[in-house]
Amino acid sequence: MAGETAITVIGNLVDDPELRFTPSGAAVARFRVASTSHTFDRQTNEWKDGESLFLTCSVWRRAAEHAVEVLHRGTRVIVHGRLKQRSYEDHEGVKRTVFEIDAEDVGASLKAPVPPPGMQEPRPVHGPPVAAVNRDVR
């Protein structure tokens, strides 16, 4: 990544990742991440949300296939990659520029647990100890 703009973003997936394949057969998953800043307001003694930054991310090959299996809307993720600028003309002929991340690595944040597929509620991070189970009883 020498000479390129490296970026790490922490945020939540806006939608489920979408898997596609290039004409040569390479897998690519695209997803959007919303990253919101938080500041502490000493007057109200509360945390306040700032403006959200929305970035489209692409991850390639095996990582793309894993992303589609593991990541879902609402998952808190850490994305590290290269910031890319892309320009295009919209359907009205207006030139637009967008910033996107070509992800090197994507992972779920352990700060905010997400339930595995099929579970209704996330497992508690802290709580009372679970009673031991006697596996010898039949």
The answer, yes or no, to whether residue 132 has pLDDT greater than 90, is no
pLDDT on residue 87: 95
pLDDT on residue 115: 57
The whole-model pTM stands at 0.73
CA dist 75 and 60 (Å) reads 19
By CB atoms closer than 10 A (0-12, 13-18, 19+), residue 65 is middle
pLDDT, tens digit (0-9, with 9 covering 90-100), for 43-97: 999 999 999 999 999 999 999 999 999 999 999 999 999 999 999 999 999 999 9
Domains of the chain: 6-108 (2.40.50.140)
pLDDT, tens digit (0-9, with 9 covering 90-100), for 91-125: 999 999 999 999 999 988 888 766 555 554 444 44
The answer, yes or no, to whether residue 127 has pLDDT greater than 60, is no
User: 3-class SS at 70?
Assistant: helix
Beta-sheet strands, E only, within 15-134:
18-21, 27-41, 46-60, 76-89, 95-108
How sure is the predictor about 133, in pLDDT bands with cuts at 50, 70 and 90? Answer: very low
CA dist 33 and 42 (Å) reads 29
pLDDT on residue 1: 55
